[in-house]
Structure 1
Amino acid sequence: MPVITLFSGSYCNEKEVVQEIGLRTGYPLISDKEIVAEASKRAGIPENRIERVFSNKTSVFNRLTRERERSLAYLRAVLAERLSEDALMISGFAAQLIPREISHVLRVCLIADMSSRVSAAVQERQISDAEALKIIHREDEKCAAWMHRLYETLDPWSASLYDICLPTDKTSPDEIAGLIEKSIAQSVIKLASGSKQAVDDFNTAANVEIALVKKGHTVGVEVKESVVTLTINKHVLMLSRLEEELKEIAIQVAGVTAVETKVGPGYYQTDVYRRQDFEAPSKILLVDDEKKYVQTLSKRLMMRELDSAVVYDGESALELAREDEPDVMILDLRMPGIDGIEVLRRVKKTHPAIEVIVLTSQGSEADKKTCMELGAFAFLSKSVDIEELSKTINAAHEKISQARARP
């Protein structure tokens, strides 16, 4: 039996339409929430951070953690497993990850005129037209960013992306369900052997991605009839060694019969391929208003394989702590606006697991006493040797690792 995917604009009567389709077809509904929950369980990444891949926001630490790539790989793996069941209805962002080669999928778009959507939002939320329009535009921007990332299109509701586009303001849920029921009865979207192979290849590709990203590798992965093609899109000095390492990882994945490698167009650009070491401290945040100093510090730490993100004021540090929660924060005391002591106080209150290393050129013994009482991991002078600072960061990371390992 075919699979139905639904992608709906906000305030387009999606709930009622889904309910009517379910009654007509008997298809169970699989939502983003279910897929994200399972991916989170397998990946060990919190659900709210898995969900971030659907938005246009990427963590400042992503180049260090590869969390986006890991999240996508696990989402694809969960989706591929569910597709092997057929006779399903999948609604939401995750459904758009299904490759076009899987032909027994009926791709449905639900959308309505803006005036209708605004009226629905006003009625549901008891807000003004202006507020409703703002909310809808924000949610449409999220949909547009997701579809642009996947298909390089600017219009998430473009008819070219779907088999059927249905106006929910002009068509009742019952009529929509009837049209979809009629469509899935057509032989053209039945599960044929070619589509079954495409599902198997999708599953294999997802598992290859997971195997690679676990080892710190991020490359393009394609699978056709169990043959894997890996595309290297960043320059690397020892290409043959990387190719052999990638092949060795991929060939061990169930369902893989052969592995090929190639370089993509990005290989000839200036960006350099780096294998991510997940054992090294990954989410380090430097907070200092002295831009030249902190940028130099970041480069010196990078030479010791300690990559970091940088912000230049206390307010930005607190915002990033809320959104991305670094593992280690290296914090200057004297900053305009919210100073270092206040940042430390708030961070340890709201995110006590973050280890804060205070690094200052003007701190007194009284400042040190205050910071250590507030929960700072260490209090160091800016004149500290870079090796000592590196050891302190690694010690903080070790403390975090031990805390996470406790049952």
Structure 2
Amino acid sequence: MSVIAIFSGIFCSADAVVRDVMDSTGYRLITDDQLISRAAETSGMPENKVQRAFSAKTSVFNKFTHEKECSIACLRLALATELEKGPAVVHGFSSLLIPQTVSHMLRVCIIAETPYRIEQAEVVQGLTEKDALKQIRARDADNAAWTETVFSAKDPWDVSLYDMVLPMNRMNVAKAGSLIEENLIKDAVRRTNASIQAEKNFLLAASVEMALCRAGHNVSVTAENGAVVLTINKHVLMLARLEEELQSIAGTVSGVRSVKTVVGKDFHQPHIYRKHSFEMPSRVLLVDDEREFVQTLSERLELREMGSAVAYDGESALTLVAEDDPEVMIIDLKMPGIDGMEILKQVKTTRPEIEVIVLTGHGSEADRKRCMQLGAFAYMQKPVDIDELSETLKKAHEKIQLFKS
């Protein structure tokens, strides 16, 4: 029997259609929430970080941590494992992760025009038109970002991505369910030996991708009958060494018969391949209004394999703390607007797990004592020795990892 993959817009009666199809077919349901939970268990990442893979907003630290890519790898593995259990309705963002080569799958898009969606939001959740539009636009932005990530397609409702597009403003739930069931029995989506093998290939590729993510790598993986191909899409200076390491890791995965590495179309672009080091700080937020100084500091830390983002004022820093997950902050004391002392006080009140290093050229002994009383990890003076600062960062990172473990 075939798989039904349903991707939908918010407030389009998709849940009702899914229930109707499940009642008629007896299929089980695979949801994003189920896969997020399984992916979190597999990876050790918090569920909220895995879920963030579906968001249009990507962490400013992602180029160092590869958390979005790792989350997607975890979700692929969780989905491929679930598909092994037999026919199902896959509903949500994850439905788009199933490769096109798995041909025993009916790909369905459920969408509607905006007036219908606003009406549904008012009926189902009692939202005002303003709040409904806000939620619709936010979810559509997530949908667009997701289809661009998976297919490089900016329009999430592009008919070429699906076998069926159901406009719910033109039909009722029963009609939509009936159309899905009619197409489900067509020869084009029947299971074949080739499509079953493609499903096994999906599972093997996902397993290899997960093994590579655990080692800090981010490459594309395909598999066919045990033959694995790893595609490196960013430039690397010591390509042969990287290829050897990738092949060594992939070769240990059960079911892998051979491993080949190739360079992708973006290999020669000005992006450097970066392996994530779990031992080094990679979520450091630098806060200083001296732009040249803080940009140079960020570059010097990057040369030491430490990942950082930059904020030039206190308000921006606190916004980033609220929206993202810095682990260590390096802050200047004297800044216009919200100064470093106030940042330290607010961060230690709302996010006490973040370690804060004060780095200032204008502080006094009284300032040092006050900062340490407020919970600063260290208090350092400018100009700072970069090696000393690096060692302090490493110690803060070690403290954080110890707390997590």
Query: Structure 1 residue 273: deviation in Å?
Result: 2.0
Question: Could you tell me the TM-score, scaled by structure 1's length?
Answer: 0.95
CA contact (8 A) 1:325 1:351 kept: no
* 2:42 corresponding residue in structure 1: 42
CA contact (8 A) 1:110 1:166 kept: yes
* 1:345 corresponding residue in structure 2: 345
* 2:218 corresponding residue in structure 1: 218
* 1:166 corresponding residue in structure 2: 166
2:99 paired with 1:122? no
In structure 1, what residue type is equivalent to 2:293?
Y
2:182 paired with 1:182? yes
* 2:275 corresponding residue in structure 1: 275
* 2:76 corresponding residue in structure 1: 76
* 1:302 corresponding residue in structure 2: 302
Query: Structure 1 residue 130: deviation in Å?
Result: 4.0
Query: Structure 1 residue 331: deviation in Å?
Result: 0.8
Query: Structure 1 residue 305: deviation in Å?
Result: 2.5
Query: Structure 1 residue 272: deviation in Å?
Result: 2.2
CA contact (8 A) 1:5 1:106 kept: yes
Q: After superposition, where does 1:4-403 map in structure 2 within 5 Å? A: 4-403=4-403
Query: Structure 1 residue 111: deviation in Å?
Result: 1.3
Distance in 1 between the 2:133 and 2:235 partners? 45
Per-residue Cα deviation, 1:92-133 (whole angstroms, up to 9, x for no partner): 001111100001111111112222112222333444434433
Distance in 2 between the 1:303 and 1:269 partners? 20
In structure 2, what residue type is equivalent to 1:381?
Q
In structure 1, what residue type is equivalent to 2:85?
E
CA contact (8 A) 1:314 1:338 kept: yes
Distance in 1 between the 2:247 and 2:305 partners? 25
Per-residue Cα deviation, 1:154-205 (whole angstroms, up to 9, x for no partner): 3211221111111222222222222222222233322211111111111111
In structure 1, what residue type is equivalent to 2:3?
V
Aligned alpha-carbon RMSD (Å): 1.5
CA contact (8 A) 2:64 2:274 kept: no
Per-residue Cα deviation, 1:278-336 (whole angstroms, up to 9, x for no partner): 11122111111110111111222223332311111111211221222211111111111
CA contact (8 A) 1:118 1:133 kept: yes
Per-residue Cα deviation, 1:46-103 (whole angstroms, up to 9, x for no partner): 2121111112211111111111111011000000011112220110001111100001
SS of equivalent residue, structure 1 residue 266: coil
Distance in 2 between the 1:137 and 1:308 partners? 31
SS of equivalent residue, structure 2 residue 170: coil
Distance in 1 between the 2:403 and 2:160 partners? 50
Larger deviation, residues 284-293 vs 221-230:
221-230
Query: Structure 1 residue 146: deviation in Å?
Result: 1.1
Question: Could you tell me the TM-score, scaled by structure 2's length?
Answer: 0.96
Distance in 2 between the 1:24 and 1:143 partners? 28
SS of equivalent residue, structure 1 residue 330: strand
Give structure 2 stretches of 5+ with no counterpart: none
Distance in 2 between the 1:29 and 1:111 partners? 20
Query: Structure 1 residue 238: deviation in Å?
Result: 2.3
Aligned length: 405
Distance in 1 between the 2:270 and 2:19 partners? 51
Distance in 1 between the 2:124 and 2:101 partners? 39
Per-residue Cα deviation, 1:383-406 (whole angstroms, up to 9, x for no partner): 23222111111111121122122x
Distance in 2 between the 1:72 and 1:269 partners? 23
CA contact (8 A) 1:109 1:164 kept: yes
Distance in 1 between the 2:152 and 2:188 partners? 27
Distance in 1 between the 2:286 and 2:360 partners? 12
Give structure 1 stretches of 5+ with no counterpart: none
